[in-house]
Structure 1
């Protein structure tokens, strides 16, 4: 889990789509890790006649990718096919699950898939695990589910801070610590038995081998924390992301950054890519995955914001020219970033700062270098 590459793999898997009055974008990148262990789900239109419901999730694998990949492919089925979810009466032949039925369906789905994977993976002795964060969006409610330290936040119009955030399941938290110690374990260096950094996860069966206690009371539990929030007309967007994102950006910073980027582009996959690039520049060493889901009240592209972004890019170009004049042909990107980092540059993206403009700075520097080489080549001809 701790092995790193000599340089990050920055190739991204990204896409975007829409449905049920929602738009979504997603992106994932291996980064510095030796393996890509994350997976995700994005589904608009659920089974049993719930065409106006949607499901989005991020699964952050560790010690391998098998559990995360399996969950991304089968979790929705486990949630929507169990008796708790299906127990509500139908109206005109269409399932009409109550909020309690959905909550119990999610809980049962998590525990069910965890049990089935244990049986399926027993032959391979797979030791991988995965955190999970997801949301089911119905016409009237948001059902957030969290198991581990991936996280989701909800942004509402007119609120500077996120309206809601899931809580990470860390071993040192009082309720988690109590369960771990009751199961015969301990927490050392903020890890279960000094090893696992999360107290709830799917898989990780080495921590679920006490036959005398139920699955929800093991050292590591697959039981999700489920929160139901009634929808309003003020929702802007939901973010679901693994800890590779949250390690370097706070809830407030990420929401501010996304809000500012929505004002300059309506391509959500591009915004997801920008988040990941910014987090890489900020120092994230983990796999990174993010899903952004926008509602009808999400910020829209603004001509004023576009103008300010162009002005910022022009200012950056002027400052990069100054750096080149001072350092000449030895000017490298790292040097430029270091010098600009000490300068007062107004208008940088909130929550992202200079890190969010690294790609632009690299393009400007490359263009200036190419222009200088062309000029030198022309001078030699004369």
Structure 2
């Protein structure tokens, strides 16, 4: 049984992949320097020979061909709500948070959207603390099974963050009753790990060859929604002694998994995320993370096509010091959030658009 729900692998794009440059000057390395860095780490190891002799060659190949450049853009709209209860984090390079990395890893990136309910305290807490908990638990040294270690790290991180918030919430007078969804994208070199709970989503735009030499976009869902109308979720809630009325836990809570919501934890609401893994390739254009406010008025396919249309039009005002591609992505992100409000979404809307460039 696989550790993760792997997404289907695409047909690889032929031809060499250019070396990418990380989008943060303080940690920028060329592909050649990445190779040297990995070799130095191996030379300082204890000299133990791995049972899989081909693994080092695979690591060298990733470094030589270059890693994708990831750049994040965010747009947030309050909508008709009195308070902005969403929170977000963009860390294209987590190096400053991590003390050490596994010897086979060159870079870790992190992007996250948190959609609060009952207040903004749970979403803000998760935005401030979850990636720090992740950094503390992230694998270090030589990890023989990195997938397994990353999975454990993510599960432990979500549990720790939830426990920490519930402890703080219960110590208040009166106790906080806030809760939050979470959709977190962790990119380890060129592998995407997605952990989510609640109803915020993440999707990937992947281009595939079509007729007459043209390409078409394919929308890949990277998350699974958790609400009490889903059979497995409803059964867990009912086994815990809770009820589902009008599609909500106890007739009140719309999601069946969340951070916080201490008063519903005894009713089967849990903080265990679903995990998925996806290999990035040169066919991929961008990732989108967004709260349910966006997807109340857009389908996932519509979101991808909306962004692609703006990227293809390239009708943006030029700004000194900014590449046209960056300005197009920024414009697409903001126009997408604004269009959700224009279409009648009264909820908070937060959109993170992550460009992928090899």
Structure 2: stretches of 5+ with no match in the other structure: 1-21, 25-67, 209-215, 317-324
Q: Residue 23 of structure 1 contacts residue 294 of structure 1 at CA under 8 Å; is this kept in 2?
A: yes
Partner of 1:133: 183
Partner of 2:53: none
Which of 293, 298, 303 is residue 254 of structure 1 equivalent to?
303
Rg comparison, structure with higher value = 1
Partner of 2:246: 189
- Give per-residue Cα distances to partners, 1:30-89, cap 9 Å, x unaligned: 11001110000011222134562100000000110011001111111112212xx33x53
Measure the CA separation in 2 of the matches of 1:32 and 1:153. Answer: 26
SS of alignment partner, residue 80 of structure 2: strand
Q: TM-score, normalised by structure 2?
A: 0.71
**Structure ranking higher in helix proportion:** 1
| Number of aligned residues | 266
Q: Residue 165 of structure 2 contacts residue 260 of structure 2 at CA under 8 Å; is this kept in 1?
A: yes
Q: After the TM superposition, which residues 142-291 of structure 1 pair with which residues of structure 2 at under 5 Å, given as runs?
A: 142-158=192-208, 159-208=216-265, 210=266, 218-263=267-312, 264=314, 265=316, 266=325, 267=327, 268-291=329-352
Measure the CA separation in 2 of the matches of 1:61 and 1:285. Answer: 15
Structure 1 position 96, deviation (Å) = 8.3
RMSD between superposed Cα atoms in Å: 1.8
Partner of 1:361: none
Partner of 2:81: 33
- Give per-residue Cα distances to partners, 1:317-355, cap 9 Å, x unaligned: xxxxxxxxxxxxxxxxxxxxxxxxxxxxxxxxxxxxxxx
Structure 1: stretches of 5+ with no match in the other structure: 1-16, 211-217, 298-382
Partner of 1:55: 110
Q: After the TM superposition, which residues 296-315 of structure 1 pair with which residues of structure 2 at under 5 Å, given as runs?
A: 296=357
Of stretches 194-203 and 131-140 in structure 1, the one that deviates more from structure 2 is: 131-140
Q: Residue 60 of structure 1 contacts residue 242 of structure 1 at CA under 8 Å; is this kept in 2?
A: yes
Higher relative contact order (CA 8 A, sep 6+): 2
Partner of 1:102: 150
Measure the CA separation in 2 of the matches of 1:161 and 1:33. Answer: 33
Measure the CA separation in 1 of the matches of 2:71 and 2:136. Answer: 26
Structure 1 position 97, deviation (Å) = 7.1
